[in-house]
Structure 1
Amino acid sequence: MPVNIHTLPEYSDEKTSLLQLTDNFHDEGELIVKGSRNIIKSNTFQGQQVNIKYFKKPGAFNAVVYNFFRESKAKRSFDYAVRLLKAGIRTPKPIAYIEEKTAFTLQSSYYICAQINYDFTFRELIHDPLWKDRDLILEQFTEFTFRMHENRINFLDHSPGNTLIVKRGEGQYDFYLIDLNRMTFEDLSIAQRMDNFKKLWLSKTMVKIIARKYAALSGEDPEQLQCILLEKTIAFKRRITKKKWLKRKLKK
């Protein structure tokens, strides 16, 4: 089966070793995530820990679409990671993406990046209001997101599990985006910027902190931002809750 591999220039001589990682993916490495569509494993490459994300073969129609008309999720993950880093937005260092294809279809694909040894995710801040430095972390996270917006980056999966947080020192935190294959690059209105926070499942207290900090950074009115962000957060929570309720009803 034809294989397409693309790496950062510094890894161009390591393609054989990288292909061995994917060839042995199902038999080697430490399982991190096993989802219905994707699997993530950790393995060793050049003496460092790397993560390998396996994107399962798409359905018959999408297999053709991804082969001819749309970039694979692995390629998008790689390209977006490169773009984020150029903009000064942290994400695990991309190493390579690999695509397995037939003449007409995309079979499966892999994205390989450096592993980040993080301390916690944004999710912990939601579940523990007494988390140490919580308000400070929220303010720094808001500044991180503001920089992303200023660079015309709209991360569509800006959700609790997709931000890894590393404590660098007392009161200093770094943020890394993961699960990168859904982004748009465009100028964002204030409404769009606030909409980008909605999947984070924020409490009213968190909304207030984020709105206040974003207003200080953007020069917008803090009360207006708080109203917009709270409205979008509540609407999102209601929609998700309704979907879950309908699913439970349909299962009965």
Structure 2
Amino acid sequence: MLKYEIHPDYPETEEIIPILQETFSNSGTTIYKIRNEVKIIDFNGKKLCIKSFGKPNIINYFVYSFIRASKAKRSYKNSLTFLKHGISTPQPLGYAEYYNKKGFLVNSYYISIYEEHDFTMEEVFQKQTADKVSIIKQFAEFVYEKIHKQGFLHLDFGGNNILVKNNNGLYEFSIIDLNRLKSNKNISVKEGLYNLKRLNGEPDDIALLSRSYAEIKGSDPNKAILLSARFRDNYHRNRDFRRWFFKPIKKFFMVK
């Protein structure tokens, strides 16, 4: 069984749905593949970015089939929400969900326009990017003014999920991987800094980001730097432990 939704402004996208699984398997360029796979595929004159979500573990196999919206559907809906609030994200085109005869979700895809960009925030933090200080300061302003001030928390807010374009020294940021999004009307400095804990970079760069964010909020920048460092240390420590502890369990419970 197939369920899908196509953006009403892009009805031609529906043409790929009957051949989506075959097209994804046999064509395109893979730009990411770990648990999920992301491909750039040229279709009907458009450069599409299609994400195939990996097989869930046995618990999520049930949850995504009968209780909670699939990651593909949430990616589509959350992207529409971001655009509605003036937050840049690649144009969403639709999603597709494939179910077996028993009604269990076996595969899902999110489809968007591929967005050209100069680099990601991961590259800004990990390399000696020209104009790094200005980029980080502008990014801090973007996060507060566009995302946190409007009450949104991106729960997978890592550097590779932030695309950057250079417009003559004014940097434009576009957010991807939106299947996990939380709304919170009033986001405190503490919550905002906690939301940035996944960003990896040199201590001085992260300190600059934390300081800039706090100053925009009118808070103590020194406290923000210390708080941010603690959040990041705890996050990485907990992440490493979870990977070590849950890896064999996840392998056992993965749907075959």
TM-based fold match above 0.5: yes
> Take 1:198 and 1:184, find their aligned partners in 2: how far apart are those partners?
16
Residue in structure 2 matched with residue 205 of structure 1 by the alignment: 204
1:94 aligns with 2:89: no
By relative contact order (CA 8 Å, sep 6+), the higher-ranking structure is 2
> Take 2:114 and 2:138, find their aligned partners in 1: how far apart are those partners?
22
Residue in structure 1 matched with residue 254 of structure 2 by the alignment: none
Of the structure 1 ranges 38-47 and 11-20, higher mean CA displacement relative to structure 2 is found in 11-20
Distance 1:161 1:65, change over 3 A: same
> Take 1:216 and 1:204, find their aligned partners in 2: how far apart are those partners?
18
> Take 2:4 and 2:243, find their aligned partners in 1: how far apart are those partners?
40
| Identical counterparts, % of pairs | 32
Residue in structure 2 matched with residue 139 of structure 1 by the alignment: 137
Residue in structure 1 matched with residue 175 of structure 2 by the alignment: 177
Q: Is the 1:57–1:106 contact (alpha carbons within 8 Å) kept by the matching residues of 2?
A: no
Structure 2 counterpart of 1:224, which letter? K
> Take 1:223 and 1:126, find their aligned partners in 2: how far apart are those partners?
20
The root-mean-square deviation of aligned C-alpha atoms, in Å, is 2.2
> Take 2:114 and 2:90, find their aligned partners in 1: how far apart are those partners?
6
Unaligned runs of 5+ in 1: 248-252
Unaligned runs of 5+ in 2: 247-256
Cα deviation digits, residues 158-199 of structure 1 (max 9, x gap): 112111111122x11111112211121113222111101111
Quote how far apart the aligned CAs of 1:118 are.
Answer: 1.4
TM-score (norm 2): 0.86
Distance 1:215 1:26, change over 3 A: same
Residue in structure 1 matched with residue 214 of structure 2 by the alignment: 215
> Take 2:55 and 2:237, find their aligned partners in 1: how far apart are those partners?
33
Structure 2 counterpart of 1:145, which letter? V
Quote how far apart the aligned CAs of 1:148 are.
Answer: 0.5
Structure 2 counterpart of 1:93, which letter? Q
1:107-186 matches, cutoff 5 A: 107-128=106-127, 130-146=128-144, 147-169=146-168, 171-186=169-184
Distance 1:68 1:24, change over 3 A: same
| Equivalences, count | 243
Q: Is the 1:154–1:184 contact (alpha carbons within 8 Å) kept by the matching residues of 2?
A: yes
Q: Is the 2:13–2:93 contact (alpha carbons within 8 Å) kept by the matching residues of 1?
A: no
Residue in structure 1 matched with residue 71 of structure 2 by the alignment: 73
